[in-house]
Amino acid sequence: MKKVLFTLTYLFIGFTVFSQSYYVGHKQYNFVDPSRSRTIQTEVYYPATSAGDNTPFASGQFPVIVFGHGFVMSWDSYQWLWDSIVPRGYVMVFPRTEGSITPSHSAFGEDLKFLNNFLLSEGSNSSSDFYQHILGTSAIMGHSMGGGSSFLAAANNTNLTTLVNFAAAETNPSAIAAAANVTVPAVVFYGINDGVAPPADHQLPMYNALASSCKTRIGIVGGGHCYFADYNFNCSFGEGTTSPQPTISRDQQHEIVAQLLFPYLDFMLKGDAAAEQIYYQRLNSMNTIVFARSCLMSDDITITRFVSPINGCGLMSNQPISIVVKNNGTNPATNIPLSYVFNGQAAVSETYTGTIVPGDSVIFTFSTTVNAGQSGATYSFMAYSSYPNDEYIYNDTVVATYTNTSVDLPLAVDFTGFNGTNLSTVFPGWKESQGIVPSGTTSAWVNRTGVGGTSNITAKVNFYSSPIREWIVGPGFICGPYTKLSFDVALTDYNSTNPDPDGMANEDSLRVFYSLDCGLTWNRLTAYGKNSGFTNTLQNIEIPLGQFANQGVAIAFQAFRETTSANDYDLHLDNILIKHYNPYDLMAFEINQPSNQNCYSIEPIDVTIKNNGLNDVDFSQDPASVQVIVNGPNNFNQTVNLTGTLTSYNQTTVNVGSIDMSQNGTYTFIMKIIYANDNDTMNNTLSKTINVNNPQASIIGTTTICSGQSTVLTAEATTNGTVTYSSSSTSSVNIPDNNSTGVTSTITISGFSSSLTAGTALKQVIINSLTHTYVGDLKIDLIAPNNSTINLINKRGSSGDNFTNTVLDPTASTNISSVSSTNAPFTGTYVPEQAFTNLTGGVNGDWKLKVSDIASGDVGVLNQWTIVLEVNNYIVSYSWSTNETTPQITVSPAQTTDYSVTITDAKGCTSEAGTTINIGGSSNTLNLGQDREICEGQSVTLDAGSGFTSYNWSTTETSQSITVSESGIYYIIASDNCGTYYDTVNVTVHPLPNVDLGNDYYTCAGNTITLDAGTHTSYLWSTNETTQQITFSYSVSASEFFSVTVTDSYGCQNADTILVVVNENPTPNLGLDTTICQNESITLNAGNYAQYIWLDGQTSSSIVIDANNLNPGVNVFSV
């Protein structure tokens, strides 16, 4: 058990993205059902904070699963379930009741129902262990007896979310009957090899009776009954006595269940949408199960089957595609997108615009047809819906593959050349058979000459012994509304042309059968017996087959006798003819051109019209026309009136016009016959799709140059698809005798994409010519450029001589290991000893064929060998209008000239591109002029001139002209259509001359004033004087500004201004002369002036004269 649990943990780890992992807690309860006064001992496993008994609940709310055990089993047989499910966040509840040898199924079902309802209610019971831990969703599950009882518990019970059971066994009362009252979604698991409760008697009737809105039954291939549980002796012992036995292990069965059960529970009980997708993806992809599903969804559109085609006998060149579209949902559905894919081609999509009510189906026929009319060809058909609201996408697609076994009518068998054993050779498609149903390829039909003419050959059966069940079986064909079968019958004496005197016995007959399913089943169309009155003269019989119109039919004849009769005669059959007998029937037979090819350009549109009618059609009296519509990158719609006369069963080809298909894309051609008197319009339309992948050429290069210049033109091209590339070595290499080292021959491959790998690109190795007696001595290996090696031929062919055009190809039907000496020189195609895919590395480099002779006595020569690669399409040639053949050319036209190039790819497809080189004229002149000198504070504009396409100055500016004010060398690079040009100019900025008249000047009246401007080239004073200095004086007070503008030798000017102030001279007054006495003093005041100096040297404005300091007499004071 531990090993199982460990394995499951590993296998199911991918599910943990959908739920948190919890510890498993466990607690035993005795729940009481008060309505029955019944105690139900119950084991509960729940998400816990730690593992063990009675541990606390983990936080959160969890769905409830109630599980019923199997007969004479107990809850502990399902540990794998609780150990896997509870950690995902579920509460699992296992009642221990009804474990005896005489259980009550009814009571057990009630227990399951009660526990489900009770546990759901406990989530809101504040005194319960389950308070606030129950999510409100639940499942009732069970195994065997518990599975059957789960139906009883779920019947008329809407208080649960889903029902799931394993190998449910019928109960008393009946689980099958109870299932009719189960309406919740249900999943019924069962083992295909269940011998205990066989599915046909138990689970399948239960499933069929379910009234669930969504129900699924899942059968486990090779699964058993007891393997849904862990090992239990009682169950395993019982199953060991039954048949069939499981063919898978218990662990494998658990794994299969878990892969589906876990995501189902997650989306049903937890609403996990991602889990729902995983569930349905696995349900529809696992090859370990078989299943059926019936669900009512709001929106569910299903494609149930093809109505047309239904087999390979009825395939036509204008085969309609019809499907059954069913609305499995509960909502009406309208505007349903529908598509079909034919033979892997592009999908054709249309919309059903009607409304399909719930449960109803419609047959939808697409407006276009497909060409499935080639006899012997195999065609694949897929149809699907893309309804945007579809809730279940896994029933949206139907797929069918049919091989066309039908042939064109008329079918005529006159038995000319028939020798009794070669019917299928002289009349292909026809064969002989025997039995109640046709079997084998031989019969008692033989040839006879003379009935119906001396040299006429008939097929005849001798009616003598019994039983006689001899068949002539025809091929399938498409029946029309006026198709008829006719044949001739005669009856002669044994081995004679004479009449038989007795004729047919009562139980004898010639029976005509038909088959609508390619000969799988046969139904009797009619029979001709004694009352037909056949004689020795061929009698013609006609049978209309219009009842099978537009179906594939095969016709067979059976000579029949059940009991022995004394009548001994020969029954003859001749001139079988099956033919369309439409009076008037024009058929859209073929869209001949354009054909499927590698390359397309202007293509003719040729179509063939066949007259399948009985009557000739004179189009001058009975008008008809053919219309061709083309939808694609270029569209086309043209109708052509038919002319002349088209005789019965002949055909004519008509050109409808031509279409330009040089542009890549998908072109859909629809051919329509327009004929008012047509008796069969089903064959009037034919369609054809062509995908165009032409190479697309272009020319890259400068298209405008100047006279005398040149330009480089480069041809580029896109290519599509892959091509076959082959390379051979024709250098003969001698093969030494008995030398395991061997010899090698080399083929060098180059020029292909490094992404191509040797193992995938290599398609064939051809030994064109190797002469050697007894080739069974040879071991031939292929060595790729990176030295990876495979063995092609390992001592095959025994005593046969030589290999001639021996092709080694993995897709061949014959292995090289199967050849013998009788196949020498082994011309043909064979599967090599080892797969090409074992080779590694790229394709470019040296490929080597190594031939080793590992026995003595014979020698030989490797003359030629070839490798064939499938590589991406590539360009093989260039053809310019200049006759040059390189991808790149240089041209120097003197005038405007057109150039073109035609490229050819490896498929032989061409594409043309052109360009015009224009001569742009002479170049412009770039001249910035003489160097410039300016004065400080000035600027200068530098102009490169107009006519250039670009300007790049040394200042990073890109305009035609710039303005600068600093010294320096300035340059420009300018371009026009003729080239690029360069020029420079030197700009010098001189400083302004220095002129300073000094500070403002103050002086007194009468003084002479001189102003000096310094040494300069010229001067202009405000007095208009032009000398360096000016001199002047004022006799009175004055105040005046003087300015000067000086100019230096560079013409730069500067100016200065000075204020000259002239003041009046002062007039002091000391007053009248004064006499003072000794010891007296006097103050002399000079007045208010700026400076003073007295005769005695004092400098104040007044002085005090002390008489004591004076000499007697006159003293003079001045200031």
Half-sphere exposure of residue 352: CA atoms within 13 angstroms, side-chain side: 27
- Say what the pLDDT of residue 1114 is: 82
Q: Clarify whether residues 417 and 502 are in a common domain.
A: yes
- Say what the pLDDT of residue 273 is: 85
Q: Clarify whether residues 611 and 653 are in a common domain.
A: yes
Q: What are phi and psi of 603, to 5 degrees?
A: -115, 135
Q: What is the DSSP string of 413-465?
A: E--TT--SS-HHHHSTT-EEEETTTTBSS--S-EEEESTTSTT-EEEEEEE-S
* pLDDT per residue as tens digits for the range 678-699: 988 889 999 999 988 888 889 9
Q: Would residue 794 count as lying in a domain? A: yes
Tell the residue number behind the tokens 């060409």, with chain if given: 371
Per residue, the 3-state secondary structure of 98-141, as one string, reads CCCCCCCHHHHHHHHHHHHHHHHHHCCCCCCCCCCCEEEEEEEE
pLDDT(242) > 80: yes
Answer yes or no: are the C-beta atoms of 964 and 956 closer than 8 Å: no
Domain final residue pick, 1063, 1083, 1106: 1063
Helix 2-11 and helix 250-270, axial crossing angle in degrees, nearest 10: 50
Report d(CA 666, CA 690) in Å as an integer. 6
Q: Clarify whether residues 530 and 660 are in a common domain.
A: no
Burial category of 920 from C-beta neighbours within 10 Å (exposed 0-12, middle 13-18, buried 19 and up):
middle
Q: DSSP character for 246? A: P
- Say what the pLDDT of residue 8 is: 33
- Amino acid in position 554: A
Tell the residue number behind the tokens 């590539």, with chain if given: 874
Q: Would residue 995 count as lying in a domain? A: no
CATH of the domain at 154: 3.40.50.1820
Q: Give whichever of 167-171, 723-727, 739-743 has the largest mean pLDDT.
A: 167-171
Secondary structure (3-state) at 396: coil
Answer yes or no: are the C-beta atoms of 1043 and 1022 closer than 8 Å: yes
- Residues 561, 565, 570, 572, Cα dihedral to 10°: -30
Per residue, the 3-state secondary structure of 320-382, as one string, reads EEEEEEEECECCCEEEEEEEEEECCCCCEEEEEEEEECCCCEEEEEEEEEECCCCCCCEEEEE
Q: Give whichever of 127-141, 280-294, 971-985 has the largest mean pLDDT.
A: 127-141
Q: Clarify whether residues 654 and 745 are in a common domain.
A: no
Break the chain down into helix, strand, coil percent, rounded to 5: 15, 45, 45
pLDDT(758) > 80: yes
- For the record, the structure tokens of 274 come out as 């991602």
CATH of the domain at 679: 2.60.40.10
Nearest to 188 by CA among 223, 222, 138, 147: 147
Beta bridge partners of 670: 629, 687
Beta bridge partners of 688: 669
- Say what the pLDDT of residue 17 is: 36
* pLDDT per residue as tens digits for the range 960-973: 999 999 999 999 99
Percent share of the chain, pLDDT over 70: 98
Provide the pLDDT confidence category of residue 1100 given band limits of 50, 70 and 90.
Answer: confident
**Residue-range definition of the domain harbouring residue 453:** 406-580
Task: Give the number of domains in the chain.
Answer: 9
- Say what the pLDDT of residue 1079 is: 85
Tell the residue number behind the tokens 């036509």, with chain if given: 316
pLDDT(19) > 50: no
Q: Clarify whether residues 1012 and 984 are in a common domain.
A: no
pLDDT(9) > 50: no
Query: Considering Cα of 284, then 289, then 292, then 297, what sign does the dihedral take?
Result: negative
- For the record, the structure tokens of 159 come out as 């208080």
Half-sphere exposure of residue 383: CA atoms within 13 angstroms, side-chain side: 26
Tell the residue number behind the tokens 């083929």, with chain if given: 747
Q: Give whichever of 197-206, 465-474, 559-568 has the largest mean pLDDT.
A: 197-206
Report d(CA 137, CA 203) in Å as an integer. 25
Answer yes or no: are the C-beta atoms of 293 and 328 closer than 8 Å: no
Q: Clarify whether residues 1059 and 1072 are in a common domain.
A: no
Answer yes or no: are the C-beta atoms of 978 and 706 closer than 8 Å: yes
The region of weakest confidence among 125-129, 487-491, 758-762 is 758-762
Nearest to 769 by CA among 796, 814, 811, 733: 733
- Amino acid in position 252: Q
Q: Clarify whether residues 252 and 331 are in a common domain.
A: no
- For the record, the structure tokens of 659 come out as 């279409």
pLDDT(604) > 80: yes
Report d(CA 69, CA 80) in Å as an integer. 13
- For the record, the structure tokens of 770 come out as 């190797």
- Preceding peptide of 544 cis, ω within 30°: no
Q: What is the DSSP string of 519-571?
A: TSS-EEEEEE-GGG---SS-EEEEEE-GGGTTSEEEEEEEEEE-S--S--EEE
Q: Would residue 344 count as lying in a domain? A: yes
- For the record, the structure tokens of 314 come out as 């009825």
Q: Clarify whether residues 172 and 217 are in a common domain.
A: yes
Provide the pLDDT confidence category of residue 3 given band limits of 50, 70 and 90.
Answer: very low
Q: Would residue 996 count as lying in a domain? A: no
- For the record, the structure tokens of 844 come out as 């470019």
Q: DSSP character for 821? A: G
Report d(CA 730, CA 862) in Å as an integer. 9
Q: Would residue 286 count as lying in a domain? A: yes
Mean pLDDT, rounded, for 365-380:
91
- For the record, the structure tokens of 1034 come out as 């004022």
Mean pLDDT, rounded, for 1086-1091:
81
- Say what the pLDDT of residue 923 is: 65
- Residues 996, 997, 998, 1004, Cα dihedral to 10°: 180
Tell the residue number behind the tokens 């002239």, with chain if given: 1062
Report d(CA 392, CA 302) in Å as an integer. 9
Q: Clarify whether residues 788 and 685 are in a common domain.
A: no
Q: How many other CB atoms are found less than 10 A from the CB of residue 287?
A: 6
Q: Clarify whether residues 576 and 681 are in a common domain.
A: no
Provide the pLDDT confidence category of residue 921 given band limits of 50, 70 and 90.
Answer: low
Report d(CA 841, CA 843) in Å as an integer. 7
- Say what the pLDDT of residue 1005 is: 87
Averaged pLDDT of the chain: 91
Q: Would residue 925 count as lying in a domain? A: no
- Amino acid in position 117: N
Q: DSSP character for 1058? A: E
- Preceding peptide of 785 cis, ω within 30°: no
pLDDT(18) > 50: no
Provide the pLDDT confidence category of residue 20 given band limits of 50, 70 and 90.
Answer: low
More confident residue, 924 or 1033: 1033
* pLDDT per residue as tens digits for the range 883-914: 999 999 999 998 889 999 999 888 788 888 99
pLDDT(920) > 80: no
Q: Would residue 751 count as lying in a domain? A: yes
Q: DSSP character for 25? A: E
Q: Clarify whether residues 66 and 187 are in a common domain.
A: yes
Domain final residue pick, 919, 947, 975: 919
* pLDDT per residue as tens digits for the range 430-487: 999 999 999 999 999 999 999 999 899 999 999 988 889 999 999 988 888 889 999 9
- Amino acid in position 608: T
Provide the pLDDT confidence category of residue 1107 given band limits of 50, 70 and 90.
Answer: confident
Half-sphere exposure of residue 194: CA atoms within 13 angstroms, side-chain side: 27
Half-sphere exposure of residue 605: CA atoms within 13 angstroms, side-chain side: 25
| 570 dihedral zone (left: phi>0; alpha: psi -120 to 50; beta) | beta
CB-based contacts of 950-959 (< 8 A; 24+ apart in sequence): 950/974, 950/975
Per residue, the 3-state secondary structure of 1032-1095, as one string, reads EECCCCEEEEEEEEEECCCCCEEEEEEEEEEECCCCCCCCCCCCCCCCCEEEEECCCCCCCCCC
Nearest to 711 by CA among 902, 920, 879, 878: 920
Domain final residue pick, 580, 602, 625: 580
- Amino acid in position 709: Q
Residues with Cβ within 8 Å of 100's Cβ and at least 6 positions away in sequence, in order, are 72
Tell the residue number behind the tokens 């002289």, with chain if given: 426
Report d(CA 410, CA 483) in Å as an integer. 9
Secondary structure (3-state) at 583: coil
Q: Would residue 924 count as lying in a domain? A: no
Nearest to 799 by CA among 775, 819, 825, 818: 775
Residues with Cβ within 8 Å of 804's Cβ and at least 6 positions away in sequence, in order, are 767, 768, 769, 770, 825, 826, 827
Q: For the chain, what is the radius of gyration of the CA atoms?
A: 56
pTM, full prediction: 0.42
Answer yes or no: are the C-beta atoms of 378 and 401 closer than 8 Å: yes
- Say what the pLDDT of residue 375 is: 79
- Say what the pLDDT of residue 482 is: 84
Residues with Cβ within 8 Å of 717's Cβ and at least 6 positions away in sequence, in order, are 695, 696, 697, 698, 875, 903, 905, 911
- Say what the pLDDT of residue 1075 is: 85
Provide the pLDDT confidence category of residue 188 given band limits of 50, 70 and 90.
Answer: very high
* pLDDT per residue as tens digits for the range 639-660: 999 999 999 889 999 999 999 9
Q: DSSP character for 1108? A: G
Q: Clarify whether residues 53 and 201 are in a common domain.
A: yes
More confident residue, 391 or 977: 391
- For the record, the structure tokens of 406 come out as 């039908």
Provide the pLDDT confidence category of residue 90 given band limits of 50, 70 and 90.
Answer: very high
- Say what the pLDDT of residue 724 is: 84
